[in-house]
């Protein structure tokens, strides 16, 4: 049975905040975008959810496709849906959080990522979309988790 609606449907995306604990500094995994919008800008790994895809599967797929990193565990962080956050139209993103040892993962940018690299959280390049806000929320969550559940 087919359904039609009188209102537009927003697109659904996932974004992954993968923190790396390297020595005494905290890093985050970023990709350099190879396509518009924000071509050449740094961003969190992520992308659109496919029609029949679970959210966690979409997050793992996008992370693997754009960075070559495959993770056994990521947790859902927050949903971002402010209108205007993506110049292509109305996009809602479900963000994911992970903490890893960066040296364990070999980065292999593919698909629409021109490059993938670890960046010190204290010295980040300008980020595409609203990814600086997503990263701030993720950093707050990580700090909170470390207060009640040490690694």
pLDDT (tens digit per residue) in 58-97:
999 999 999 999 998 999 999 999 999 999 999 999 999 9
Average pLDDT over residues 10-25: 93
H-run or E-run covering 139 = helix 131-148
pLDDT of 1 strictly over 80: no
Work out the mean pLDDT of the chain and round it to a whole number: 94
Nearest to residue 41, comparing CAs of 29, 51, 31?
31
For residue 99, the model assigns a pLDDT of 95
> Is the model's pLDDT at 6 over the cut of 90?
no
- What are the C-alpha distances in Å from 74 to residues 5, 13, 124? 34, 16, 22
Peptide bond just before 94 cis, omega within 30 deg = no
Confidence band of 5 (pLDDT split at 50, 70, 90) = confident
Predicted pLDDT of residue 90: 96
| Residue 51 scores a pLDDT above 70 | yes
Q: Residue 122 CB: number of other CB atoms within 10 A? A: 8
Q: How far apart are the C-alpha atoms of 14 and 50, rounded to whole Å?
A: 10
**At 8, is the pLDDT very low, low, confident or very high (cuts 50, 70, 90)?**
confident
Per-position DSSP letters for 22-89, written without gaps between them: ETTEEEEEEEEE-SSSSTT-EE-SEEEPPTT--HHHHHHHHHHHHH----S--EEEEEE--TTSSTTS
pTM over 0.75: yes
- Cβ pair 15, 44 in contact under 8 A: yes
């Amino acid at each position: 049975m087919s359904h039609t609606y009188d209102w537009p449907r927003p697109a659904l995306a996932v974004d992954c905040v993968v923190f790396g604990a390297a020595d005494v500094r905290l890093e985050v995994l970023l990709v350099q975008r190879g396509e518009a919008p924000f071509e050449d800008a740094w961003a969190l790994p992520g992308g659109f959810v496919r029609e029949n895809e679970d959210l966690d599967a979409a997050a793992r797929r996008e992370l693997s496709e754009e960075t070559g990193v495959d993770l056994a565990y990521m947790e859902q962080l927050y949903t971002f849906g402010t209108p205007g956050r993506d110049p292509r139209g109305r996009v809602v993103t479900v963000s994911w959080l992970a903490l890893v040892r960066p040296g364990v993962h070999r980065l292999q940018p593919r698909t629409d990522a021109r490059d993938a690299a670890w960046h010190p959280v204290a010295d980040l390049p300008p980020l595409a979309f609203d990814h600086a806000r997503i990263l701030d929320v993720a950093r707050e969550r990580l700090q909170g988790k470390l207060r009640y559940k040490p690694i």
